[in-house]
Chains A and B, each alone.
Chain A
């Protein structure tokens, strides 16, 4: 695997480095941050100084600390959401491909109808009903995204399920779970991994957008989307501090996109221009 990594184009290598950087910051947040996440340590909107490397935010919390903890919160929640979406969507997709028939048709129709509603609007609707706590946020977004994962997983699994070795396994008497784990899953890993990267980007941006609208991660938890909104008035004073969380968001998504672009070049038959949104 190291060899494939070393043969990657510069953009992909840079992307991997950047992603590793973000993960390190997210994991070691309490060690790296100079202050506590919700501690008010100064006056509002202080300038960049030695005491507060990036100034303070609208109620006096240290920006650098909030940025570091924001990495942990936003990335962590996005990762859990995408993993959940992949668990639900991936398994359902593989089941639909294997079982086929009525089961496949009904589930596909249901997924098509769910996908007919634009996801932001649907998420806002569900958030009105269920409230904006972290568990409901994770579950709602995971369910909405599992529809897209279902599509990819089903179409990839369809190509594998018709192969002779799957038929041979079933004639041997292997159970459904075994066939999924040992025959189908290893063969659809490549497109699924690329999709994981893309979905992570999308969910990450989605959560940032929802938090920016005030309907995602609630204060006082640090989160990059809501940080942009809270400090937005600073833009009128020609200060770029409120853009820093947005730059952080953009940085991670760009890095993941570069890596996924390279991965798609590696896996045969898939071209990055054919991605869905």
Chain B
């Protein structure tokens, strides 16, 4: 078996194992509650009859491992359970929400990644110049901003003052694609600004790190133009850490998307998660949590695999 396949399968197995362990944690976090989840959720309405009925409804009268196996089995069949608040099948609405969130994340990534690579490359090319210093300052500042701050600033300037974009992104599937795209642009822009800084700094750092290598000095002595030195000689070796950071930032997007969706009232998975937490709708929270965790683990897995693949020494160990 080619070494690449072996590495990928190994990492995939590790990722699946982690996902399993995470599902156990998510399913059993309920057991940690001192006292009873029923009392906590029902609150004032907790008479003995309602408590018993509720326990029967969410199946607390059956042993823990039975519940876990049923839940897990249900997931493989696409059945994520029933929402406590609305009594609907969770799998009905989770699908559209997930695709909305992925659309938003994908759009943000499509804007952020090329921009970060280009600007980082330029910063490495013109290091220690005014451009580099300004970029350094801006990125350090932007890493420190909370996402909702960036979101509201964008709303203030692009929506209220300039009137270009709508302040609320109520996207639905019956809209034309261009309209959906237009309404998703502002939240995507927010997410872009949030992750741009990290990727830019890493690109710049990775390339500058390599610029002290002897073969780069050789290329310069040969008379190669600076741009070609960086793109042709330094960049191929810098791919490992750069793609690693890109994948990690994509994983971070999964988390950042929650806050941005709430600000723009975008109908995605993050909005669903937050709403369900406020209503203490446990099955929905668990379903969202496991989906987020799966995407997060997958992206971290991707980062892992790419950083191995990009380094031939790791790929073909002696």
Interface residues of A (CB under 8 A from B): 11, 112-114, 116-122, 124-131, 201, 205, 208-209, 212-215, 225, 228-229, 232, 235-236, 238, 240, 242-243, 246-247, 249-250, 253-254, 256-258, 261, 271, 273-274, 277
B152 sits at the interface (CB 8 A)? yes
Q: Is the CB of A129 within 8 A of B32?
A: yes
Q: How far is the CA of A273 from the CA of B238 in the complex (A)?
A: 14
Assuming the contacts A118-B293, A253-B144, asked whether A128 and B22 have C-beta atoms less than 8 A apart, the reply is: no
Identify the stretch in B106-114, B173-181, B273-281, B308-316 within 8 Å (CB) of chain A at 4 or more residues.
Answer: B273-281
Assuming the contacts A117-B22, A125-B29, asked whether A209 and B147 have C-beta atoms less than 8 A apart, the reply is: yes
1/0 per residue, CB under 8 A from A, across B231-251: the answer is: 000000000000000001101
Assuming the contacts A118-B255, A128-B282, A258-B140, asked whether A247 and B205 have C-beta atoms less than 8 A apart, the reply is: no
A-B contact count (CB 8 A): 150
- Residue in chain B with minimal CB distance to A276: B248
Q: Is the CB of A124 within 8 A of B152?
A: no
Q: Please pick, from B18, B22, B25, B277, the residue contacting A124 in the complex, using a CB distance under 8 A.
A: B277
Q: How far is the CA of A247 from the CA of B152 in the complex (A)?
A: 11
Residues on A with beta carbons closer than 8 Å to the beta carbon of B255: 118-121
Q: Is the CB of B146 within 8 A of A120?
A: no
Q: Is the CB of A273 within 8 A of B202?
A: yes
B30 sits at the interface (CB 8 A)? yes
B198 sits at the interface (CB 8 A)? yes
For chain B, residues 10 to 36, give those with C-beta under 8 angstroms from any C-beta of chain A: 18-19, 21-22, 25-26, 29-30, 32-33
Q: Is the CB of A125 within 8 A of B149?
A: no
Residues on A with beta carbons closer than 8 Å to the beta carbon of B60: none
B266 sits at the interface (CB 8 A)? no
Closest 9 CB pairs of A and B: A273-B205, A253-B144, A246-B149, A254-B144, A120-B255, A121-B292, A113-B21, A118-B255, A118-B296
Assuming the contacts A235-B152, A277-B248, asked whether A208 and B285 have C-beta atoms less than 8 A apart, the reply is: no
Assuming the contacts A117-B293, A128-B282, asked whether A235 and B25 have C-beta atoms less than 8 A apart, the reply is: no
Q: Is the CB of B18 within 8 A of A113?
A: yes
Q: How far is the CA of A97 from the CA of B21 in the complex (A)?
A: 24
What is the CB-to-nearest-CB distance from B81 to chain A, in angstroms, rounded to a whole number? 15
Given A228-B148, A250-B145, 12 other A-B contacts at CB below 8 A? A114-B25, A116-B296, A117-B22, A117-B292, A117-B293, A124-B273, A125-B26, A129-B37, A215-B278, A235-B156, A250-B149, A253-B145
- Residue in chain A with minimal CB distance to B269: A121
Q: Is the CB of A116 within 8 A of B289?
A: no
Q: Is the CB of A257 within 8 A of B205?
A: no
Q: How far is the CA of A277 from the CA of B273 in the complex (A)?
A: 22
Residues on B with beta carbons closer than 8 Å to the beta carbon of A130: 32-33
Q: Is the CB of B144 within 8 A of A247?
A: no
Assuming the contacts A118-B293, A122-B289, A128-B285, asked whether A243 and B152 have C-beta atoms less than 8 A apart, the reply is: yes
Interface residues of B (CB under 8 A from A): 18-19, 21-22, 25-26, 29-30, 32-33, 37, 40, 137, 140-141, 143-149, 152-153, 155-156, 160-161, 167, 198, 201-202, 204-206, 248-249, 251-252, 254-255, 258-259, 262, 273-274, 276-278, 280, 282, 285-286, 288-289, 292-293, 296-297, 300
Q: Is the CB of A212 within 8 A of B259?
A: yes
Q: Is the CB of A250 within 8 A of B146?
A: yes
What is the CB-to-nearest-CB distance from A11 to chain B, in angstroms, rounded to a whole number? 8
- Residue in chain A with minimal CB distance to B297: A116
Residues on A with beta carbons closer than 8 Å to the beta carbon of B25: 113-114, 117
Q: How far is the CA of A28 from the CA of B223 in the complex (A)?
A: 63
Q: Is the CB of A249 within 8 A of B149?
A: yes
Residues on A with beta carbons closer than 8 Å to the beta carbon of B248: 277
Q: Is the CB of A257 within 8 A of B254?
A: no
Q: How far is the CA of A125 from the CA of B277 in the complex (A)?
A: 7
Q: How far is the CA of A120 from the CA of B145 in the complex (A)?
A: 17
Q: Is the CB of A209 within 8 A of B146?
A: yes
- Residue in chain B with minimal CB distance to A256: B144
Residues on A with beta carbons closer than 8 Å to the beta carbon of B141: 250, 254
Q: Is the CB of A129 within 8 A of B146?
A: no
Q: Is the CB of A232 within 8 A of B152?
A: yes
- Residue in chain A with minimal CB distance to B293: A117
What is the CB-to-nearest-CB distance from A110 to chain B, in angstroms, rounded to a whole number? 9
What is the CB-to-nearest-CB distance from A143 to chain B, in angstroms, rounded to a whole number? 11
- Residue in chain A with minimal CB distance to B31: A129
What is the CB-to-nearest-CB distance from B294 to chain A, in angstroms, rounded to a whole number? 10
Q: Please pick, from B18, B143, B277, the residue contacting A215 in the complex, using a CB distance under 8 A.
A: B277
Assuming the contacts A118-B292, A122-B289, asked whether A254 and B29 have C-beta atoms less than 8 A apart, the reply is: no
Q: How far is the CA of A119 from the CA of B296 in the complex (A)?
A: 11
What is the CB-to-nearest-CB distance from A200 to chain B, in angstroms, rounded to a whole number? 11
